[in-house]
Structure 1
Amino acid sequence: MKNVVKKENGVPRQFLGVDFVVLSIGKDTMVAKMLYKPTDNVPFHKHPNEQSGYVISGKYRLKFGGEEYLLSEGDTYSIPADVEHAIEIIEAGEVVDVFSPIRQDYL
């Protein structure tokens, strides 16, 4: 468990071709910073983790629950566990995601 992580100590990872950094990990939550490139493709998928995010920069089209949401700097979202979702990268940027419970596949 890493309760406090300085930015230079984040753990770089990749999932579905998307680069990201695992930051703090608590008992029930995990914080990750997604580093989206215009060439990234995140198709519809689901996981047993609730996912909430904050858009630091970039532009995205988030799809879930039969809806599409255009997201940009300062926008936030929450996706319930086990709900199919996808994200289209319109403009490169960074997003902070919080997962609960911890995503074991991100460790």
Structure 2
Amino acid sequence: MKNIVKKENAVNRQFLGVDFVVLSIGKNTMVTKMLYKSTDNVPFHRHANEQSGYVISGRYILKFEGEEYELSQGDTYSIPADVEHSIVIVEAGEVVDVFSPIRQDYL
């Protein structure tokens, strides 16, 4: 199965007030680009999807499992499925996230 999405065909969405773009959907994974604004708020939440990310730009504080991690350009992370987490946007920017399995609530 091929799934090629040209940037002009990417699907714009919003979840919890955060703008993002669905870049690609495979059989078991989904790639998104989060477009964080400095006014966005991502409260503690959990989902059945493992989430791994790459910070393109901006600065963030990722909180999970009782720890806080400051992230900036070039940093990566992985959050296990069903683990409560939140993100504080310190400086607006973009993050690529990969979810497995596909997040049905992002479709």
Instruction: Tell whether 2:57 aligns with 1:57.
Output: yes
How many Å apart are 1:2 and its aligned residue? 6.8
How many Å apart are 1:14 and its aligned residue? 0.2
How many Å apart are 1:28 and its aligned residue? 0.1
RMSD: 1.0
2:81 paired residue number? 81
TM-score (norm: length of structure 2): 0.98
How many Å apart are 1:55 and its aligned residue? 0.1
User: What SS is found at the alignment partner of 1:57?
Assistant: coil
Following TM superposition, where does structure 1 have runs of at least 4 consecutive aligned residues deviating by more than 6 angstroms?
A: none
User: What SS is found at the alignment partner of 1:90?
Assistant: strand
Identity score, percent: 85
Could you tell me which runs of 5 or more consecutive residues in structure 1 were left unpaired when the two chains were aligned. none
Measure, in 2, the Cα distance between the counterparts of 1:93 and 1:36.
5
Measure, in 1, the Cα distance between the counterparts of 2:95 and 2:4.
19
1:41 paired residue number? 41
- Partner AA of 1:94 in structure 2: E
User: What SS is found at the alignment partner of 1:22?
Assistant: strand
TM-score (norm: length of structure 1): 0.98
Gap change, CA 1:2 and 1:36, over 3 Å in 2 = farther
Measure, in 2, the Cα distance between the counterparts of 1:2 and 1:68.
38
Q: Cα deviation per residue 1:40-81 (whole Å; 9 max; x = unaligned)?
A: 000000000000000000000000010000000000000000
How many Å apart are 1:8 and its aligned residue? 1.1
Could you tell me which runs of 5 or more consecutive residues in structure 2 were left unpaired when the two chains were aligned. none
